[in-house]
Structure 1
């Protein structure tokens, strides 16, 4: 009986530790998604914290801004390096666009 109890306690402590690690990872991801949120109580924007719709609007706007910035950088790189020609297996046409494929 004692072995079963010890195994159960060990299993419980492992699960508890994993849950704490998952919570810490989620907190880190949250801080990356909405960086203007601060842990300093004096600088927290209470309107965003109190209204879930505004909070999610903030998160989505940040995601859109990040994607736009990333796309802008990618587009500039393509324009600077000119479009590369596609050649695979001696073919210049992409297989999806080749009617003979």
Structure 2
């Protein structure tokens, strides 16, 4: 696992920008970059956060990530277990 992925995950939790991070190593990726097809092995982070924190989290990732354009997007979690959503809220409460 890459140092950046661990550091970014821990910092996201410490800064209360996320309640949980899944680290999925060795994701094989194909993508266009500068008109060419590129292939890379990447580490995928699934970061669970609140909608209100997505902008700040995205800004932080862009600040520390070495890629010119890191892959950052959000998916709404509008349905799910109420206990999980409560846990997520509690995990991100400011001290």
Tell me the TM-score normalised to structure 2 length.
Answer: 0.23
Looking at secondary structure, tell me which structure has more strand per residue: 2
Looking at secondary structure, tell me which structure has more helix per residue: 1
Q: Which has the higher contact order (CA 8 A, sep 6+)?
A: 2
Larger Rg: 1
Tell me the TM-score normalised to structure 1 length.
Answer: 0.22
